[in-house]
Structure 1
Amino acid sequence: MQIELKNIAPKFLEKEKIANSQVWQKKLFFEKGRKIQIVAPSGSGKTSLIHFLYGLRNDYAGSIFFNNKNVKDFDNIQLAKMRAIHMSIVFQDLRLFKEHNTFQNIEIKRALAPYHSVSQISEMAERLGIKNKLTQQAETCSYGEQQRIAIIRALQQPFDLIVLDEPFSHLDENNSKIALNLIEEEAAQRNASIILADLHELPFFKADTTIYL
């Protein structure tokens, strides 16, 4: 899988922020198997960039190429395929189904494009310290617990790239490291890339490349 950004820039962002960015209006190529950290202060367009990469929005100038094809030209079937087997994501707002319990939230994703067995959901939950929450309604879990649910859910599918938008914002450093270790192990199994975007540089994430948005 290859992703290339060619001179993209949000149509709504101030010119000064675009000019000072290492992403906007630049040419970037994300190689398979690499770890990329994007440091993005509030208001710099971090979440917009994540949504552009995932094909959720196209209100930007320039082009994003996925395997040499412009994402703006994808139809719904192509977008669904990209998201099902090539790109996984942890949204900043998590997007859990709060009417379902923790296990159901994870299993819904796993069943769509299974990479792991059902039993591994329990193993991952135990590793991240939320095994006792699997039967609990997602909306009653703390935000840090919900973040771990979203991380486990994202790891259930095949992917060549996993994109994470402030995935550890409500976790302490120890739990953040445990979750990151799991993410890195899963990415290594797939020879997949990691793009992790956060407000600040995370010292425990040993990225191959750090880019300042």
Structure 2
Amino acid sequence: MNNINLQQTLPNVFAERESIVSEVWKKNLEFRKGEIYLIEADSGTGKSSLCSYIYGYRNDYQGTFNFDKENIRNLSVSKWVDVRKHSLSMLFQELRLFSELTALENIQLKNSLTGYKSKKEIETLFEAMGIDDKYNSKVGKLSFGQQQRVAFIRSLCQPFDFIFLDEPISHLDETNGQIMGDLLMQEVKKQGAGVIVTSIGKHIELNYNKIFKL
């Protein structure tokens, strides 16, 4: 996948609004592989909805989302499976971890789909994020900031052309936010991928190619 194209997209829930002031909604724009984007948003402007639409988790929108030149509404179930395994990684704001499983088991579930990361590489990520003592801790027992780091590691454990990170450092201090940014860019450069980060406040400090106001 080389680009993600939005054509006059808008959440259905916003359809009755008389005016939409946005650099994303009701616009034609393109996210290109290899480039880094930041989407700044106020709460309630559809930031998480945007991520869910692109990941195919929801379809309650107007307009068109294309992967390259293919309308995502036309993708089959098997094609979506392939996209989520090999082309598109997502770090959701609500994380979507399995609380009854350990941190490592959550990672292994994702990594087992493609075998993308070795055991040593996963251990190194845990160490770098300062949670190597939480390998065998159930996620439900961890703080939200620790869970956020587990979800971030999971997002790196697959091949991808684009990675979306929805408020990835909302519960992290500046040091851990910087570490996350460094690890992210190492993986992104390795894969030649595109990055889309969303934020309603603090965000990962990256060299963004473009910043959009949602």
Which of the five TM-score ranges fits, normalised by the shorter chain? over 0.9
2:4–2:30 contact (8 Å) kept in structure 1 = yes
Aligned to 2:65: 64
The structural deviation recorded for 1:174 is 1.1
Q: Contact 2:22/2:213 (CA < 8 Å) preserved in 1?
A: yes
Residue 204 (structure 1) shift: 2.0
Structure 1 vs Structure 2 CA RMSD: 1.4
1:129 is matched with which residue?
130
Name 2:203's counterpart in structure 1. Answer: 202
Distance 1:203 1:51, change over 3 A: closer
5+ long unaligned stretches in structure 1: none
Q: Paired residue for 1:180? A: 181
Asked if the contact 1:164–1:195 (Cα under 8 Å) also holds between the matched residues in 2, the reply is: yes
TM-score, length basis structure 2: 0.96
The secondary structure found in structure 2 opposite 1:115 is coil
Q: Any gaps of 5 or more consecutive residues in structure 2?
A: none
Q: What is the number of residues matched between the two proteins? A: 213
Q: How far, CA to CA, are the matches of 2:111 and 2:27 in structure 1?
A: 36
Change (3 A) 1:17 1:177: farther
Distance 1:22 1:110 in 2: 35
Instruction: Give the TM-score normalised by the residue count of structure 1.
Output: 0.96
Following superposition, the deviation at residue 180 of structure 1 comes to: 1.2
- Aligned pairs (5 A) from 1:15-164: 19-164=20-165
Q: What secondary structure, in the 3-state scheme, does the structure 2 residue paired with 1:98 have?
A: coil
Q: What's the offset of the Cα at 1:205?
A: 2.6
- Sequence identity percentage: 37
Residue 115 of structure 2 aligns to a residue whose secondary structure is: coil
How far 1:156 sits from its partner (Å)?
Answer: 0.5
- CA change 1:133–1:146 in 2 (3 A) is same
Q: CA deviation at 1:17?
A: 8.5
> d(CA) in 2 for partners of 1:208 and 1:5?
17
